[in-house]
Structure 1
Amino acid sequence: MTITPQNADDSCLINQTVPTGVMSPPSEYLDEKKQLPNQNQNQNQNSTSHSGEDQESQKGRSRSIEDATAPLPSSSSSDRGDDNDNNDDDDDFPEGGLAAWLVVFGSFCSMVCLYGLINSVAVFESYFSTHQLAGYSSSTIGWVFSVYLFIVFFFGVQVGPIFDRHGPRLLVAVGSLLVVASQLILGLCEEYYQILLTYAVLGGIGGALLNVPAYGVIAHFFKRRRGMAVGVAATAGSVGGIVFPLFLQAVIPKLGFAWSTRIIGFILLFLSVIANLLVRSRLPPSTHPVRILPDWTLFKDLKFTLCCVGVWFMEWGIFTPLTYIVSYAAAHGQDANAAYTLLSILNAGSFFGRFLPGFLADRFGRFNVITITNALCVVTILAFWLPAGDSRALLIVFAVTFGFASGSNLGLYPVCIGQLCDARDYGRVYSTAVMIGSFGTLTALPIAGALLEIGSDERQGWLALILFAALSYAIATSCFLGARVLAVSWRVKEVY
């Protein structure tokens, strides 16, 4: 029996077909309204007669932008129909309260341990390229950070189903230990293979175990306000991206690199304790078996496929400036301290870019907002970074504007993915998407490093790298726009 999805979270392919004979969920998980006698049967029949003409407008929870400022209505049992028991409904989600916001805070702490370090990658790239790895090419050094990012996102394809089936506790505990150990050991590494194994492999596996639970637990407590909740938690990456570069800038000259990374390790240990205490799941476990391979049937949904391709190219676009902006500033006459400060300025702009677009996305549409912010990234790269040269003022303008525009990238696309599926299967669907995106992170920095070395003039290399980032964002914009068009056509005023 095929069920027509009535909202965005019910549009995942895996939830649209219910085999005959499937038992209904246990009574403790049923909505209280469903346990009462159905006194609105006639109303159900009347609404069913009009469902054909309203199906397209309701699909994907789209609505007019003029109505975006009005509160989102909670769907009642009569609106959903009696056959839609397998799908999460709005009334089941707290949408706030102390317990829900404590989970968001726990997710924030775990994201600092992951995305705070990711947003500080330019500091490590600049330091390694002038110290331990001074004899290696930019492309070779770039593989260290690409492997790190690849492992963080690729291993999510195994982590996601485990989270759906068994919850976040063990994943967050083991991931925290590995991330902390990576920073504590990193200061002892001198050779390329040592840095690769410690920073990329050990830290990457730990980050992969933290990534899916950090987003997934929020999906258990928020639905209508999920964009805002994820945006609040995602500001962790900006906070870490501000604090860690400034800390390393001040401490490395005094204590050296080894003790600086150890202190960061102890900071991450403190945050990990909080995350382990607060992060928890709420929904009943998924019935889908834990599997090693991704669920390829998800790609039958063209909207989901376009989102995955968009994530790939968005990874190409975002990590190129994040990794090379410090080296760019140093290559154009600025000292190391000024270059490190530039990264903190970028992450300061990203702080507001993570929260505000997430808040707006709940009102004006998640796909609408991520399409606009990706287009803004193209504009800022071409308008400010391309002509910057040795102008520190223009570089600061680029850092602030690109930080704001790109801040929503890593916070909004998980919400967009969640809009295509049931919250109980969020880990499996999200991990499949980031698995595809992981190949973008694997190839982005080596490609950017190779582009940096082309031509007889260093300026040609930087020009190629900047255009590569802009083109990547342009393709990502087209993909997210395509997914939106498939859902609500070209209607500009539709909220999706």
Structure 2
Amino acid sequence: MDLSTTRAPVGARVRPFYGWAVVAGTFVLLFIGFGTAYSFAAFFQALRDEFQGSRADVSLVFGITGFLYFSLGAVSGPLADRFGPRRVVAAGVLLIAAGVLVASRAQALWQVYLTYSLGVGVGVGFAYVPAISAVQRWFVRRRGVASGLAVAGIGVGNLAMPPMAAVLIDHTDWRTAYVLLGLLALTLGLAAAALIEHSPQRRGMLPDGAPPFPPSPHPSGTPLPHAGEGLGVRADEVGVRAALGSRPFKLLYAAVAACSAGLFIPFVHLVPYARDHALSGTAGAWLVALIGVGSTVGRFALGSMADRLGRRRSLMVMFAGMGLALLWWTVAVDLWSLALFAVLFGVCYGGFVALIPALTADYFGGRSAGSIIGLLYTSVAAGTLVGPWLAGRIYDLRESYLLPIAVGAAANFVALGCLAALMEPARWRAERHPTD
């Protein structure tokens, strides 16, 4: 079956499946939201120079941002399930743009916390989970591919925005750069939000573009299966309360929490690390962009691969890969070794981001996907707040990043162990709902 179009009678015009428009809108939203957040690396030194802050103090700008957008998934997911994702996502776009624009007028570092961190953090929190959860409802058989394409917006944003911000800062100043980024977020973000729609059922469709009614009977007289069979209209959908008490959710939560301890240290500290090793700030921004290159590859390639090989096993490989990449970072001191780290870490990070929503939907279904994924992402919040800040604090005290990077590597192997203890989704669902 061709899942890219909606089936129509012979001779009728075949319309593209609207689910791909939802994927495109989500891609742009994540490009804007996370690109704006990850461009912080390019502003790191400018903010230090402007406000005379320590590395820990400046790192907290990103830490608060990440804490908010991962924590608020627990709020934005249920809001989107109740009121529809488009309204929630549009509100998020407005907050991102406002936060960056007002931050351009900050006169003290605490004002950057109050404007940039609050606006971008809450805005991305309102945009990410509702949009990516909508994608899970529009696809089942091609969920890995669709999710990978959608979250590739994070990787492309990470690729494009830090170098673009660095160029803007070099040719103007950090305040003007924030104004331009805010205007970009406003225009592209609102256009993308208009494409987001809750579910295919509201358009008279089923996931993957299947027709809503059975096709004509088979010539033998035996009716064909209903189009929804096997396409995600499952009897074993799991509600929020049941999901939270389940072993898969607890182990997924523990795994993602462990991974997050070191996950965002490179996004904040790779630029200052590069400067410490005699590279320019612009070179450091391009290293962060290389994480985006690898991340984009990971989202596109590994999402499709995981549909065939299994998402749980694929996610285990991503945790192992991030752990090994961080260990490599501890000995990387020149441009080429740092570039290798950035690409390898990015590939595994991209696969991780693509696989988490799809694997969650594999276990619990799409009915309450927004709420469940949002609650799962609260596991990242503490690590995002503490990890980059603590890495900066340790550097301020010891003038070395070795300890926080090594701890981040070890945490990924803890996450790998959590996934190893988790049974496959199909087996768990079968044991939870045994058939006669």
TM above 0.5, yes or no, is yes
Measured against aligned partners, the alpha-carbon deviations of 1:383-432 in whole angstroms (never above 9, x if no partner) come to x311112x221111111111112211222111111112121110111111
Q: Secondary structure at the match of 2:264?
A: helix
The whole-number CA distance in structure 2 between the counterparts of 1:278 and 1:427 is 17
Are 2:285 and 1:340 equivalent residues in the alignment? yes
Aligned partner of 1:482 among 421, 425, 429: 421
Instruction: State how far apart, in whole Å, the 1-side matches of 2:162 and 2:358 are.
Output: 28
- The 1-side partners of 2:82 and 2:163 are apart by 40
Please give the secondary structure, in 2, of the residue aligned with 1:278. Answer: coil
Q: Contact between 1:219 and 1:226, CA under 8 Å: does it hold in 2? A: yes
Aligned-CA RMSD value: 2.3
1:161 is matched by which residue type in structure 2?
Answer: P
Q: Provide the secondary structure at the position in 2 that maps to 1:388.
A: coil
Out of 26, 37, 44, the position equivalent to 1:107 is: 26
**Residue matched to 1:257:** 174
2:375 to 414, 419, 432: 432
Q: Partner letter of residue 275 of structure 2?
A: A
Verify the 8 A CA contact 2:136 2:357 in the aligned structure 1: no
Amino acid at match of 2:28: C
Partner deviation per Cα, 1:344-389 (whole Å, 9 max, x = no partner): 122112110111111111111111111101101111222x311112
Equivalent residue for 1:160, pick from 77, 92, 104: 77
Correspondence 1:465 to 2:411: no
For 1:217, give the aligned amino acid: A
* Structure 2 counterpart of 1:120, from 18, 21, 39: 39
Q: Is the 8 A contact 2:73 2:378 kept in 1?
A: yes
Checking the alignment, whether the CA contact within 8 Å between 1:182 and 1:198 is kept in structure 2 is: yes
Gaps in structure 1 of 5+ consecutive residues: 1-70, 73-95, 286-293, 490-496
Residues 150-192 of structure 1: CA deviation (Å, up to 9, x unaligned): 1101112121112112211210121111111112122111202
Contact 2:42 2:281 in 1 (8 A): no
Tell me which residue corresponds to 1:133. 51
User: Contact 1:309–1:437 (CA<8 Å) still a contact in 2?
Assistant: no
Give 1:330's aligned residue.
275
Deviation string, structure 1 residues 282-303 (Cα, Å, up to 9, x no partner): 2569xxxxxxxx9565332111
In structure 1, what is the Cα distance between the partners aligned to 2:332 and 2:414?
Answer: 23
Closer, same or farther: CA 440–284 of 1 in aligned 2, 3 Å: farther
Where do residues 138-149 of structure 1 align in structure 2 (5 Å cutoff)? 138-149=55-66
Deviation at 1:137? 2.4
Residue 119 of structure 1 contacts residue 238 of structure 1 at CA under 8 Å; is this kept in 2?
no
Q: Give the one of 370, 381, 395 matched to 2:326.
A: 381
Match of 2:139 in 1: 222
Asked if the contact 2:362/2:425 (under 8 Å) is kept, the reply is: no
Find the residue that maps to 1:472 and give its secondary structure: helix
Contact 1:125 1:141 in 2 (8 A): yes
More moved, 224-233 vs 313-322: 313-322
What amino acid does structure 2 have at the position aligned with 1:159?
Answer: S
Task: Give the aligned partner of residue 306 of structure 2.
Answer: 361
Q: Give TM-score scaled by structure 2 length.
A: 0.82
| 8 Å CA contact retained: 2:134, 2:196 | yes
For residues 486 and 244 of structure 1, what CA distance do their matches in structure 2 show? 36
Offset, 1:270: 2.2
Deviation string 1:299-347 (CA, Å, 9 cap, x unpaired) is 3211110101111122222201121111100011111121112111221
In 2, Cα distance between the equivalents of 1:452 and 1:297?
A: 43
Q: Deviations over 1:440-472 (max 9, x none)?
A: 2222222222232344xx2xx211122022112
Other-structure match for 1:280: 197
Amino acid of the structure 2 residue aligned with 1:399: A
Equivalent residues, number: 381
Distance of aligned partners of 1:474 and 1:127 in 2 relative to their CA distance in 1, 3 Å threshold: farther
Over 3 Å counting, the alpha-carbon distance change for 1:345 and 1:172 in structure 2 is: same
Code of the aligned partner of 1:132 = E
Distance 1:472 1:245 in 2: 27
Deviations 1:202-232 (A, max 9, x none): 2211111101111111012101211111111
Native 8 Å contact 2:81 2:371 kept in 1: yes
C-alpha deviations, 1:59-109, integer Å up to 9, x for none?
A: xxxxxxxxxxxx99xxxxxxxxxxxxxxxxxxxxxxx94311111001111
2: CA distance between counterparts of 1:446 and 1:377? 20
| TM-score, normalisation: structure 1 | 0.73
Identity %: 28
Structure 2: state its 5+ residue gaps: 3-14, 203-238, 429-436
Alpha-carbon distance in 2 for matches of 1:478, 1:319: 21
